[in-house]
Amino acid sequence: MKKLFTGMTLMMAFMLLSCSKQGDYIQDVPVNFSAPINDYRLSKLQSAGGAVIINGYGVCGLILYRRPDGAIVAFDRCSSVNPQGKCAVNLDDPTLTATDPCSGAVFLLNDGSPAKAPATRPLKQYQVSLSSSQIFVTN
């Protein structure tokens, strides 16, 4: 009987610990954004350090950013701090970082990494591909 009680206690502890992490990640949702590279919404991406927000994709929208090396990266706007709250990060001025208005966390747009607590995990990144006339963001 003692072994059964110990086993049940351990099982309950594992279940409680696993439940506490539920919702501690940014959801996986299909992302399939494409636009002409000369689309007016993307005009800020013509130069290094330019960033734009595209709503309606991902969990909380997308941030597209042109890095100094010329590459374009895309992140979900959903903050990695308490992602179940779906708090969308906002672009800072200058557009080197984005800030979570709910927690005050700051993220670097070069790679999505956390720059200020309480953030400990990066923003969710999506794949970007370019053709001569189109930009594609997918996962």
User: What are the tens digits of pLDDT across the range 81-130?
Assistant: 999 999 999 999 999 999 999 999 999 999 999 999 999 999 999 999 99
User: What are the tens digits of pLDDT across the range 16-35?
Assistant: 444 444 457 899 999 999 99
Return the structure tokens found at 1.
């009987």
How crowded is the C-beta side of 72, counted as CA atoms within 13 Å? 24
In order of their start, the domains of the chain are: 2-138 (2.102.10.10)
Return the structure tokens found at 99.
């800030």
pTM of this prediction exceeds 0.85: no
Measured CA to CA, the distance from residue 122 to residue 109 in angstroms comes to 10
